[in-house]
Each structure stands twice: as structure tokens, then as C-alpha cells.
Amino acid sequence: MSRNNNFNQIFWGAAIIIVGLLFLLQNFGFVRDFEFWNFLPVILILLGGYQLFVNQFRAWVGPLIMILVGSYLLMATLNFIAWGTFWSLIWPTILILVGISIIFRKGFGGTESSQVDHGQFSSFAAFSGQKRNVTAPDFQNGEITAMFGGAEIDLRNAAITNPPARIQTTVMFGGADIFVPADWDVRVNVVALFGGTDDKRHNLAPAKETPDLVISGTVMFGGLDIKS
């Protein structure tokens, strides 16, 4: 089982409680003519903002996609834009963000399989697969965005000199596998919606005061596996 701070349970538990309270208030007549379901996309906006805060803005493509998708959904549910307009906004926005990332983020590989020998990487997989073999002697941070695709990150030949290193993940209708050295202490801070994370290592390294690697992010209708 993954080591984590239970944020996934706290986040969705709090969200369900809030929705239940709104139903209760509406049933008792305290809330009238308020279609709060239209405001549910705010959850995606808050989730994206939280992920930016957690990774200290080191990785921003996935969280920003989450914020923009939530914003477009909110505008559609509130009838500021038509649903047809919503769909026409999504993919151009994603392409723009990926293009900006290619320009400004060192380590963004454009090929399906590549080796990364410096301290950071960025992997974006849309309707495709991406593989990164990270051999950096001082790995610091990375970002995985998989949308209708898969990503495989191999860190078994990497080293961390200033822990914790951080990986931001955004998995939507896809999957991601992260391979780590057997002696790394990995902490997981991932929010899952109709998906999940699983630490499939047979022997977990002893917990350390400062973990070697912190994995944060969001998994929606997909899976994130940690392997060794």
C-alpha cells in the first residue's frame, strides 16, 4: 500500500460532506432555487490550484489544464458559453500549454522513448505512450501528464542528492508507471477520482524523516502505479 498523508480521503470526504449538507439545507427549505450542481466544476479548479501549491509551481502543465477544464465547465454549466464552445476550447488550450512547456521546460522529450540525464523532466502523453529513462545523478523534479495515453518513467538509475525530489502527475483516462530504486522512501499525495494509485513494490524501504521522493497530483478515470 502506498505511503501517503490521506489527502485523497480527506479531500473527497470533505467534498461529499459539503454536497450532503447542501442537499440537507435544500430539503429543509433553507436553500431555495439554487442549483449547486452547476458549481461542482469549482472542485476541479480548487484541485488544480492545490496541486500548484503543493509542487511550489515547479510543474504547472497538468494543474493548469485541470484549472482551465474546470473553468470552462463552470462557464458551460452557468450558461456563459455553449457546450459546443466548451469542447472547441479544450484541445487548442492543451496544445498551447504543451507548446509553452516545450519552449520553457528543459527535459521535455518529443519522442516516444528518451533518456534524461539532467535534474528534471516533463512527459506529456495524449493518445500515445511516452517513456523516460532518467539517469540524472541529481534528480530534482518531474512532471507527468497522461491524457488518453500512458507514461512510463524509469528512475532506477537516477540518484537524489537533495531530498525530497518531486513528481507532479496528472492522469486523465490513462495510466502512468513510475519505477524507483528499491531503497527509496516514496510518499504519495495523489487525489483519485474513479481511479487510484498503487505501490506494487514487494519490499518497501524503511520510512525516513525526509522522504526521497514525493509524488503528488490527480488521477481521474485512470491509474498510477509505483514499481521497482
Query: How many whole angstroms separate alpha carbon 228 and alpha carbon 221?
Result: 24
Radius of gyration of the chain (CA): 19
Query: Mind listing the pLDDT tens digit for each residue in 200-228?
Result: 888 777 888 889 999 988 888 889 999 98
Domain boundaries, the chain: 3-227
Q: Which of 180, 157, 148 is nearest to 167 (CA)?
A: 180
Query: How many whole angstroms separate alpha carbon 181 and alpha carbon 13?
Result: 33
Mean pLDDT of the chain: 80
- pTM of this prediction exceeds 0.75: no
Query: How many whole angstroms separate alpha carbon 188 and alpha carbon 202?
Result: 17
Whether 55 contacts 165, CB under 8 Å:
no
Query: How many whole angstroms separate alpha carbon 228 and alpha carbon 53?
Result: 28
What's the maximum distance between 2 C-alpha atoms anywhere in the chain?
62
Query: Mind listing the pLDDT tens digit for each residue in 134-187?
Result: 999 999 989 898 888 889 999 999 999 999 999 989 898 889 999 999 899 998
